[in-house]
Amino acid sequence: MRRVAIGAVLVVALALAGCGGGSKTLSKQEFASRLNQICRQAAAEEKQIGTPTSPGEIASKGPKLRAALDQGIAKAEKLKPPSELKSAADKFVAETKQLSSLLGQIIDVAKKNELAKLVPLGAQAQALGKDAAAVGRSLGAPACALAPS
Indicate whether 6 pLDDT > 70. Answer: no
Indicate whether 4 pLDDT > 60. Answer: no
The answer to whether the Cα torsion of 4, 9, 14, 16 is positive or negative is: positive
Task: Count the helix, strand and coil residues of the chain and give each as a percent rounded to the nearest 5.
Answer: 80, 0, 20
Residue type at position 7: G
The reported pTM is: 0.80
Q: What is the pLDDT of residues 106-143, one digit of tens each?
A: 999 999 999 899 989 989 999 998 998 899 899 988 88
Confidence class for position 63, pLDDT limits 50, 70, 90 = very high
